C-alpha cells in the first residue's frame, strides 16, 4: 500500500475513478462520429484541437468530483487547476487523442489519475467506443471490455531486436528527440504510429514492448504510468527519472527492455 494513503481511502479513490470514467463515456460518445463535429484550435502555430466532447467530458467528471471528493484538487486539460485540501490531485484528460477523435478512429481515450505530489497511485485508461477500461492501482491491474475481464500483465523481457515500439507521431518532438527515437526504432522489429493513449494500454495488456514520446503534459501520462506500473512495467523520462510531470516519456514492459532503450536515448538525445 502507498504509505500516504490508507486502504479505505484507496478503495474510495478506485470507486470514484470508475464513476468518473462512467460519466465521461456518454459525454464523449454524444459527439464522436457525429456530423459536423467542429474543433477549435488551442495553439494557432500548430493544430491542437479541442471539441465539445472534450469540454463536456471534463465538466461531467468535475461534477462527480464536486459531489464525491470535494476535498481533492483537480488538474484538467480543458479547465485547468482547482485547489484542494487533501493532498491528492485528480489529473484528467477528457479526450487524449482529439485528432483521432475528430478522424473517427477509436484509439483516443479518457485518462484519469489521482495521487499525491509524488505521482499517481490510481490510473484509468478508458476507451468508450470500444468499451474497454484499463485500471491500475496497488494490487489491481485489470481490463474489462468486449472480451470480458482479465488481469493485466506486461510482456516478459526479450531482446530489443524482437520488440514492438509505438509512438503517436512520426515527427517526435525536436530534432534531437527525433534522433533519439529513430536510434531506438532502428533497433526494434516493428514500429507503429498513431495510437495515442491506447499504445500505453497495449503495454499493460502484454501486447507491445515500448512507447517513446516527447512533449507530453502531466494529464497525458499520469494515468498510463499508474496502469503500466500496476501491470509490472516501468515509465520514466529519457534519463530514467520519474515522469509524472510529463516531458520525454519512455514506457516499457519490463526493466530489461527499458534499460536497453534508455541507454540508446541517453547516448543519442
Same domain for 97 and 219: no
Does residue 220 lie within any of the structural domains? Answer: yes
Do residues 10 and 138 lie in contact, with contact meaning Cβ atoms separated by under 8 Å?
A: yes
pTM above 0.85, yes or no: yes
Q: Write down the pLDDT at residue 137.
A: 98
Q: How confident is the model at residue 45 (pLDDT cuts 50, 70, 90)?
A: low
**Digit-coded pLDDT (tens) for 72-100:** 999 999 999 999 999 999 999 999 999 99
DSSP string over 16-43: HHHHHHHHHHHHHHTTTT-TT---EES-
Among 151, 182, 216, where does a domain finish? 151
| Statement: residue 2 has pLDDT above 80 | no
CATH of the domain at 68: 3.30.540.10
2 is a domain residue: no
Q: Is 245 helix (H, G, I), strand (E, B) or coil?
A: coil
Q: Tell me, yes or no, whether 120 and 198 share the same domain.
A: no
In the DSSP assignment, the letter for residue 88 is -
The CATH code of the domain that includes 215 is 3.40.190.80
- Where a domain ends, among 87, 117, 151? 151
Structural domains of the chain, count: 2
Q: What is the dihedral of CA 212, 101, 112, 76, to 10 degrees?
A: 100
Pair (134, 175) in one structural domain: no
Q: What is the pLDDT of residues 224-265, one digit of tens each?
A: 999 999 999 999 999 999 999 999 999 999 999 999 999 999
Residue range(s) defining the domain that contains residue 95: 7-151
1 within a domain of the structure (yes/no): no
Planar angle of CA 260, 262, 264, nearest 5 degrees = 80
Same domain? For 147 and 208 the reply is no
Give the domain-ending residue among 151, 179, 207.
151
Amino acid at each position: 500500500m502507498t504509505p500516504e494513503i490508507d486502504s479505505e481511502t484507496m478503495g474510495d479513490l478506485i470507486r470514484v475513478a470508475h464513476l468518473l470514467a462512467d460519466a465521461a463515456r456518454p459525454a464523449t460518445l454524444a459527439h464522436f462520429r457525429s456530423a459536423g463535429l467542429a474543433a477549435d484550435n488551442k495553439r494557432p502555430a500548430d493544430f491542437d484541437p479541442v471539441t465539445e466532447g472534450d469540454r463536456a467530458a471534463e465538466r461531467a467528471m468535475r461534477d462527480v468530483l464536486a459531489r464525491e471528493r470535494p476535498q481533492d484538487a483537480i488538474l484538467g486539460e480543458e479547465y485547468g487547476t482547482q485547489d484542494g485540501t487533501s493532498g491528492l490531485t485528480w489529473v484528467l484528460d477528457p479526450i487524449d487523442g482529439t485528432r483521432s477523435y475528430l478522424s473517427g478512429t477509436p484509439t483516443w481515450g479518457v485518462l484519469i489519475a489521482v495521487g499525491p505530489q509524488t505521482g499517481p497511485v490510481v490510473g484509468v485508461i478508458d476507451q468508450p467506443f470500444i468499451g474497454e477500461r484499463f485500471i491500475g492501482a496497488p494490487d489491481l491491474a485489470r481490463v474489462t471490455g468486449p472480451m470480458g475481464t482479465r488481469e493485466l500483465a506486461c510482456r516478459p523481457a526479450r531482446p530489443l531486436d524482437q520488440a514492438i515500439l509505438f509512438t503517436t507521431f512520426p515527427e517526435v518532438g525536436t530534432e534531437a528527440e527525433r534522433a533519439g527515437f529513430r536510434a531506438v526504432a532502428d533497433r526494434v522489429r516493428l514500429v507503429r504510429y498513431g495510437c495515442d493513449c491506447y499504445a500505453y494500454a497495449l503495454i499493460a495488456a502484454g501486447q507491445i514492448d515500448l512507447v517513446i514520446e516527447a512533449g507530453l503534459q502531466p494529464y497525458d501520462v499520469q494515468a498510463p504510468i499508474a496502469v503500466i506500473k500496476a501491470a509490472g512495467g516501468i515509465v520514466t523520462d529519457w534519463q530514467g527519472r520519474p515522469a509524472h510531470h510529463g516531458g520525454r516519456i519512455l514506457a516499457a514492459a519490463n526493466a530489461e527492455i527499458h534499460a536497453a532503450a534508455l541507454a540508446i536515448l541517453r547516448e543519442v538525445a
